Amino acid sequence: MNNLDGKTAWVTGAGSGIGRATAIALAQAGASVVLGDINPAGLEETAGLCGDAATLSLTQDVTSEAAWADGAAAIDARFGRLDILVNNAGIMMAQPFEGAPVEILRRQNRINVESVYIGMQVALPLMRRTIADGAKGASIINIASVYGMVAGAQFAAYSATKGAVRSLSRAVAYELAKTGIRVNCVLPGPVQTNLGADWEPPRDETGAPMPPEVALAAWAQLIPMGRLGIAQDIAPIVAFLAGDDAAFITGAEFVADGGYTAA
């Protein structure tokens, strides 16, 4: 299972969280992993955790078409192939919808949706060539969220972007189904990462800021399994979808949320 020997994978948002855990999982499965992140320090740490498999690190702004093109050129020069793309980079901003500036939506849309759109387009020529050279197929995995399925308090703009990622993934999967390039979507539930690191502090019923540990404990109580997810809960799903064992899976969605959306 999950033998990725000889494959090249590009993971965005690899400097921390789900991106880091995914990069490690792909490296452990045998892939050469290209790490993309806007944070050089995070990239360096992830590269160390991946060992020799992390053969290329890209300081990458995923909203920049030029950065994507430069990354693809670097991968082509180093490997001459691309088998796996994991569009993981994202941002989560919480704010009540009423009175929220439209820039809250625009910023999240640029990072969460436009980067996925650009990344898939940039990856396709390399992936088509990889298949033409004899690979069984190629795999794109886009990271969405259960908040693209269900409502989350103060996450209207974020939910809109993750709903868009779901629809975009299905549409592209349908178009590419006969090419051998598969597109699937993973929908994590609440996971302990730094995705919302720039949130305003959550507040209690009196309006006072809540300590992070109190807010996280309250959130965990909403999950039937009784805990928040961790990045390592998500990475194995991505690793499975990346490999040839998932050769008949495209246009699918995989929810990992501890039962959060089961009710």
Q: Global pTM?
A: 0.94
Average pLDDT, the chain: 93
Radius of gyration (C-alpha) of the chain in whole angstroms: 18
- Say what the pLDDT of residue 76 is: 98
Between 238 and 52, name the one with better pLDDT: 238
Question: Dihedral sign, CA of 154, 160, 165, 171?
Answer: positive
Tell me the two tokens of residue 156.
């209207």
Q: Which one, of 185, 178, 99, 97, lies nearest residue 140 by Cα?
A: 185
Look up 117 and say whether it is catalytic.
no
Indicate the length of the chain as a whole number: 263
User: Which of 40-54, 96-110, 132-146, 214-228 bottoms out in mean pLDDT, i.e. has the lowest?
Assistant: 214-228
Q: In the beta sheet, which residues pair with residue 36?
A: 12, 58
Of 22, 38, 192, the residue nearest 111 (C-alpha): 38
At residue 197, the pLDDT reads 46
Give the pLDDT confidence score for residue 200 in this predicted structure. Answer: 57
pLDDT band at 136 (very low <50, low <70, confident <90, very high): very high
Q: Give 153 or 110, the one with higher predicted confidence.
A: 110
Q: What is the pLDDT of residue 204?
A: 66
- Annotated active-site residue in 117, 158, 174, 260: 158
Question: For residue 194, what pLDDT is reported?
Answer: 64
Q: Please compute the mean of the pLDDT values over residues 107-111 and round it to a whole number.
A: 98
DSSP 229: B
Summarised one tens digit per residue, pLDDT across range 180-214 is 999 999 999 999 876 554 455 566 677 777 777 77
pLDDT confidence bin for 219, thresholds 50/70/90: confident
Mean pLDDT, residues 165-184:
98
Residue 103 has pLDDT above 90, yes or no: yes
Average pLDDT of span 158-183: 98
Domains and CATH numbers, the chain: 8-195+230-256 (3.40.50.720)
Please give the average per-residue pLDDT across 74-80, as a whole number.
97
DSSP string, 62-115: TT-HHHHHHHHHHHHHHTS---EEEE---------STT--HHHHHHHHIIIIIH
- pLDDT value at position 201? 57
pLDDT in the model for residue 152: 81
Of residues 184, 192, 254, the one with CA closest to residue 223: 192
Q: What is the model's pLDDT at position 102?
A: 97
pLDDT 10s digits, 35-76: 999 999 999 999 999 999 878 999 999 999 999 999 999 999
